[in-house]
Amino acid sequence: MAVQNGYLIDVRRVVKRFTTAAGTFDALKGVNLRVNPSEFVGVVGKSGSGKSTLINMITGIDRPTAGEVLVGGTPVHTLSEGQLALWRGTTMGIIFQFFQLLPTLTLIENVMLPMDFAHRYAPRERATRALHLLDLVGVAPQAHKLPSAVSGGEQQRAAIARALANDPPILVADEPTGNLDSKTAQAIFALFEELVRSGKTILMVTHDPDLARRVERTIKLSDGEIIEESIAQVFPTLSEEQLIQATRGVTPRVFPAGSILIREGEPGGNLYLIT
């Protein structure tokens, strides 16, 4: 999949403004976010901080009031509804907190549905692929049961299999372990780690501090603005407002292995946080 300036996901100065009976408010305030291919990124923050709104911008479920969202070089914010549906079906696997499996379809039929929609695999291959994915997430024995006949953990595993149906390069998970017991949550997280090792890029919203500490990089949303966790770690005494100001001033850069970042004798003036 194409990348934009080295980034698979590139969110640029995104503002999302909502109008309610109480007036207008900005759920996102000029957010910038860049995610590399095969990166596992956690998104944390208090309720109402803008986490789900940010996810909706990246997946094309909602549109920004201002700014740009590029995923794999595609300007998601400019696509029509029809274009979005087709693009999302092949590019993005979305995992919801409440599973969102269709109750009248069996687990294997739920996993086959995205393949039917996107015409990604030949009809005769879809059932075999769906069963393989259900086996990958550990619920193949339940393949022909309705969602109501299996546990919450099994439903979430089936939802992950469905998200993988069209082999998308990106998985976006909004509180995927929020309704699971701790043991099942750990198993789901271990599966995510394996998917990242196999080349997937995962963006995961979570309230679980233990899981957040285990991802490669964490970004924190506070009142619609991003705080880079690396900055918060380096400057632990700064307030959230000060951390937001510091994050605004940071320019993320990706260097190939072996690159020279700083040479002795060159003029100073920059602060480098190397992660």
Query: What residue spans define the domains of the chain?
Result: 39-49+79-248
pTM, entire model: 0.81
Task: Considering only residues 166 and 23, tell me which one the structure prediction assigns the higher pLDDT.
Answer: 166
The pLDDT assigned to 2 comes to 58
The pLDDT assigned to 5 comes to 61
- Is residue 126 within 8 Å of residue 116, measured between CB atoms? yes
Architecture, CATH, for domain 39-49+79-248 = 3-Layer(aba) Sandwich (3.40)
Question: How far is Cα 248 from Cα 231, in angstroms, rounded to an integer?
Answer: 11
- Is residue 107 within 8 Å of residue 142, measured between CB atoms? yes
Range 250-271 average pLDDT: 80
